[in-house]
Chains A and B, each alone.
Chain A
Amino acid sequence: MNAAAAQANAQASAQAFLSIRGLKKSFGGVTATDNVWLDVRAGEVHAVIGPNGAGKTTLMSQLSGLLPPDAGQIVFKGQDITHQPAYRRAHIGIARSFQITSVFMEMSVIDNVALAIQARRGHSFRFWTPARTVETLRQPAMAKLVTVGLDDRANRKACDLSHGERRQLEVAMALGSDPEMLLLDEPMAGMSSDEAARMVSILKSLSGMTMLLVEHDMDAVFALASRISVLVYGRVIATGKPEDIRKNPAVMRAYLGEAL
């Protein structure tokens, strides 16, 4: 990328909510993200698509702070967060859901969400009061469960939920910290079409929330996204409105005839 283009990029990203600037990460000889530039505007649902192994989950992990990038910069609301640890990013308003369902299986559904809320209420060095009696955690937790439609499952253990319900719980936990931005890593992974449709309507109901969405389910992507970026071999080959991306020849080549 030449200097002029880089400057243009930097200017564009000045107004961006979340700005990813030249992010690089390689594992041994494999480059997972190779100079990724991407801007997410406030209030938009920005989808990242791409074939398997394009580096989508690696990108997510760098954004949420679980993987340190080799080079590049991540700026959130004008603040450089490239080297902030994961737990601190959660505090400034970035929440993440995981591709591989990672709710706390041995805890009840509402305990899972209450824990997410607890994370934003200052420190948790409170050793004496039973956590399950703290109404300032239980009530908002229940409200989040209503949002994702899991309120009737509140006292089940997470391991007793179906796959689709666990994905809903995953979203409720991400919402639990009242984030300003959601990083959603394949929220529809492994879902039946019914479950996926339900998830789409849940995410649609969160209108106004800034989201970065990594997803394979193209129906879901085109139903939700206001802009789409296409990632191939760790590089962004196109960014634009859904209808532009659908017609983009480079994108069609990358997907080798897969209907978009």
Chain B
Amino acid sequence: MIDQTIARRISQLTRYIRDISGKVWNQDPQRSVNAIVLKVLIVLLPLLAFFTKLTRYIRDIGVKAWNEDPQRGVTAIVLAVLIVLPPLAFLMGQTFWLDVATRLVILSIAAVSLNLVLGYGGMISFGHAAFIGIGAYAVGIPSYHALYGGFESAASHNGFWHFALAIAVSAVFALITGAISLRTRGVHFIMITMAFGQMAFFAVLSLETYGGDDGLTIDTRSELPLISLDDPLQLYGFCLAMLFLALFMVHRIVNSRFGMVLQSARQNEERTCALGFNAYIYKLTAYVISGALCGVAGALLGNFTTFISPEMMDWTRSGELMFMVILGGAAHLFGPLIGTAVFLLLEEVLSRFTVHWHLPFGIMLVLAVLFMRGGLSGALSRWLDRGVGKS
């Protein structure tokens, strides 16, 4: 009501100023410039105030819904945006945005898996890209053999086989490397996980049959009943379903009895052991779950790009995954999603202006780490909390 009156006042005022300035212009251009400045001041400032008021108003409505059930509120918003927007863009002919969204969803799964160990478990893994690579090659290698013969025991186009293979091999790789890495702490853990990641990278690089560093083209995507991954919309839907499954799984795990032990080990491992938990086994289990989940992301990525190369498991890729988790907010359920979204959008936008788009991104990350506890999702929830405090 008040806002409406203000709006009416503003329109009256602008008309009035226009009429005056029209008269003045004819008589004295110099004075008319002054009038324009005045107009800008009179119009813009209230508009700015109005805009601020409007955003706060929207926030307060959101907060009300939020108070009733915050978890459901966020989930509903994220669900709605991801389900509605990209397919809508696709149907309107903007195929590019569906591509971006698919990449976003797939990388989010990887980031969500990393968040389980990095955010909730306090294990800073710098080698998670290896799992993406393993997952992708678990699709690429069987398809290759199904098409060109050889290696009969693995050759298949069957999607269930591809995903089972991606999960199993990733889990075994996580079990072996985790069992060794988790004997170390802090910087040593970071370095050793990175070393294992690079080992996987060079191992794949040396596989001449599958293209070596030239990579491997996946000629046929994973075959699943009922849906076809060749259709961009169905592929997107499948990836989205996987993301929701991953989020739901991680949500249940971190709040379960297992999750409580995992989170306590992050905060004070010595104390966790003194209480009677073998923290090592719990952390290793989390690492294996995370690796397997990241392998699924890799299998999806292979199906999406249909071209895989060792480059996708390079250590810089692991670094990017860490960026996404930390920028978005470690140990927040939706943090990795927000981080991945910001990362991809910045990449799209900034890379149009400069090839050195990593630079502003790096500065942003530094600022986020310095000034935003809990990353973007932490900042967001604090901003929303201020609204809660008001109402």
Contact = CB atoms under 8 A, between A and B. Distances in A.
B276 A104 contact: no
Size bin of chain B's contact surface: 20 to 34
B256 A128 contact: yes
Contacts of A111: 260
Of B264, B268, B274, the most chain A CB neighbours within 10 A belong to B274
B290 interface: no
Given A85-B273, A86-B273, A125 B285 contact: yes
Given A66-B270, A106-B267, A125-B285, A131 B276 contact: no
Contacts of A14: none
Contacts of B274: 64-66, 86-87, 90, 95-96, 98
A86 to B, nearest CB: 4
Interface in B169-222: none
A29 interface: no
A120 B275 CA distance: 9
A105 to B, nearest CB: 6
Contacts of B267: 104-107
Interface string A167-197: 0000001001100000000000000000000
Contact of A125 (B258, B268, B271, B273): B258
A130 B252 contact: yes
Interface string B228-264: 0000000000000000000000001101111111011
Main secondary structure of the interface of B (DSSP, over half): helix
Contacts of B268: 102, 104
Given A107-B264, A107-B267, A130-B256, A124 B282 contact: yes
B280 to A, nearest CB: 9
B316 interface: no
Given A102-B268, A104-B264, A107-B267, A87 B273 contact: yes
A102 B270 contact: yes
Interface of B: 252-253, 255-261, 263-264, 267-268, 270-271, 273-279, 282, 285
Interface of A: 64-66, 85-91, 95-96, 98, 102-107, 111, 114-116, 118-120, 124-132, 134, 137, 173, 176-177
